[in-house]
Structure 1
C-alpha cells in the first residue's frame, strides 16, 4: 500500500497512521474533514477523535479498513463504537453495534445503553432497552444508572414510565381480547355440537334414539355435548319455560342458543333440511323483525361467532395462543345478551 498520508490523533495523544482515500470512502464525515482546507502553519494532515479510549479509536479505524469487528472488541468497546459510528456516519458499523449491544443488555447497563441509543438515533436498540427495563424495573431501579437518570434526566424518566404504562395497557387489552376470542370459539363449538346432536346424534339425545342398534364412536367434544344434552332435556320438559317473561334461566339460555344457531345456519328457509329445533321459525321471525338496537347487537355477535367458526375450520397446524387472530367485541354487547352464561352452564 501507499504510505499513510493522514494521522488520527486520540485523546491519549496516540497517533494512528491511515490513508485518506480509505477513510473518505468509508465515512462522508471524515471525507469532509479531510477535504477541509488546512491551516497554513500545519505541516501534516491530522484528524482528532477525542472523548473515547485510544483502543476504541484503533478498533474503529481497523473497521473502516476491514469491515470486521470481533466479539471481544464488541464486548470491550461496543458503546464507544456505537457513538463513533453515529458521529462519523458509518452505517454498517452502527448496525453491527446496535445488534451487538442488544444481545449484551443487562440490568446494570440498560440505562446507559438506553441513553446512548436515544442520542445516537438507534430506535431498535432503544425499544429493546425499554422492554428489558419495563420487565425488570424493580431491579433496574436500584442501579446507579437509574439513580443518575432520576437526578439528571427527568424527561427520559417520564418517557420510560409512560412506556411502562402503555405496555401494561397493551397487556391488559391482549388478555381481554384472548378471553373474548376464547368465548367466541366456545360458542362456535356449542353451535357445532348442537347441530351434531340434532343431525347425527350423541348418546341418548338426537336421531340415534330411533336407531338403538347403531354403534357410535366416542364424541371428540364430550363435555360440551353432555352439557347441551342436559339443556335440551330440561328445555323439552321444563314447566316454567316463560323465556320472554324472565322465567327459567336455563331455558332462556337454550332459547338464545337456538336463536344463535338460526342466525348462522346456512340452510334455506323454504327447504326444511335443518334438524335443529325451531331453526325455521327463528329465520322467519328474523325476516319479519325490524332492525332495532337489540337486533344490531345480536347481528354483531353473530358476525363474531361466524369469524370464530372460520378460524376453527382452517386446516392448519395448531398454533400457540399468542399467534391466534384476535377479535375485539364490546363487552357490553356480550353482557347484555348474557350468552357467556350459556357456555359456563354447559361445561
Structure 2
C-alpha cells in the first residue's frame, strides 16, 4: 500500500489501480487526489457512479508496463521533495538507500513516467523525468526522445534533444530512428531540418555581430591611439593601448620612408591613409586637431 506525504496512511486502501497486466495495486484516494488533478476528477466521477452500490473504486492505468505504474504510484505517495533531494544527492555522490531506490526506478521507467506524469498532470515529476532523460541522451536514441518530448509537451527536454542533434547531426543521421522518421514522418523530419537551419543562421548572425563588434572596438582603439600619438607624441608612458600605439608608430615611420611611387599600391600605407580618413570623418574639431590632414 502507498501512504501519504512522508508516512504510510494507517487507514486501509480505498482505491484499486488496474494495470495492463490485469494486476491490481491498492492506493489511497486522498494521496492520488492531492498529487494529480486528473486522478482527482476520475475519483470523483467513479465515486458518483458507484455511490450507494458499495462497490470499490477502481481506476485503470493502461498502455504502460505494470512496473512503471507501480513506480508512478510510489513517487506520488512520496513527498515531491524526495525527488529533488535524490537529484541533489546524485550530484554530491551521497546516495542513501531510499534515494538510490528512487534513482533506480527513475532510470528504469523514465520514459513511461514522463508519459504518465504528462497525462495525469504531475508537474514536478514530469520535470524530474525530463532531466533524467536529458542526462542520458545519446545520438542513437535522441530522435525517439525528441518525438516523446513533442508528444508530451516537454519543451525543456525537446530543446536539449535539438541541441544534441545540431551538435552531432552526422551521427544522428546514421541511426535507425532517423531513417524510420524519414520514411514515416517526413513532416517532422522537415521541421527538424528547418530548426537546424534556423539555428545555423542565428549562429552565423551572432558570429558576424561579434566580428563587427571586434572591428569597431579595434577601430575605436586605433582612433584613440592616433590622437594620442599626434597630440602627445606617445612619450608620456600613458598609452591607451601600448600594442596599438606601437603598430601605429611603425605605420607612420613606414609612410615617411616608403617610396612615393609605390605608396598607391603599398598595403601598409593604405592602412594608415584609411585611418586618417576615418579620423577626419568623425573629428568634431578639425580646425584645432593635431592629426595630420584632419582639416
TM-score using structure 1 length: 0.67
DSSP-derived class of the 2:49 partner: coil
The verdict on how the C-alpha distance between 1:42 and 1:152 changes in structure 2, with shifts beyond 3 A counting, is farther
Output the CA distance in 1 between the equivalents of 2:214 and 2:286.
Answer: 30
1:260 is aligned, of 248, 270, 278, to 278
Residue number among 1, 5, 11 corresponding to 1:2 in the alignment: 11
Give CA deviations for 1:190-243 in whole Å, capped at 9, x if unaligned: 1122122223324xxxxx5xxxxx9x6999533x334422432455577859x9
Correspondence 1:62-73 to 2 at 5 A: 62-66=74-78, 67=80, 68-69=82-83, 70-73=102-105
In structure 2, the residue matched to 1:17 is 26
Match of 1:225 among 245, 259, 276: 245
Other structure's SS at 1:89 match:
coil
Does 2:161 align with 1:129? yes
Alignment of 1:69-80 (within 5 A): 69=83, 70-80=102-112
2:118 pairs with 71, 82, 86, which one?
A: 86
Are residue 27 (structure 1) and residue 36 (structure 2) matched? yes
Unmatched segments (≥5 aa) in structure 1: 203-207, 209-213, 282-347
Equivalent residue of 2:139, what SS? coil
**Aligned match of 1:38 in 49, 53, 56?**
49
Give the Cα–Cα distance (whole angstroms) in 2 for the partners of residues 97 and 229 of structure 1.
Answer: 62
Residue range with higher mean Cα deviation, 140-149 or 255-264: 255-264
Q: Is the 8 A contact 1:240 1:247 kept in 2?
A: no
- Larger proportion of helix: 2
Between the aligned partners of 1:236 and 1:31, the Cα distance in structure 2 is 88
Q: How many residues align?
A: 263
Using a 3 Å threshold, how does the CA distance of structure 1 residues 248 and 113 change in structure 2: closer, same or farther?
closer
* 1:181 equivalent in alignment to 2:213: yes
Q: Which residue of 1 aligns with 2:88?
A: none
Residue 137 (structure 1) shift? 1.5
2:60 alignment partner, SS class: strand
Q: CA deviation at 1:175?
A: 2.4
Q: Does structure 2 conserve the Cα–Cα contact (< 8 Å) formed by 1:110 and 1:133?
A: yes
**What is the alpha-carbon root mean square deviation over aligned residues?**
3.0
Distance (Å, rounded) in 1 between the aligned partners of 2:266 and 2:110: 71
Secondary structure, counterpart of 1:114 in structure 2: helix
Distance verdict in 2 for CA 1:179–1:57, change over 3 Å: same
Alignment partner, residue 97 of structure 2 = none
- Seen in structure 2, the aligned counterparts of structure 1 residues 7 and 169 have a Cα distance that, compared at 3 Å, is same
Match status 1:278 vs 2:289: no
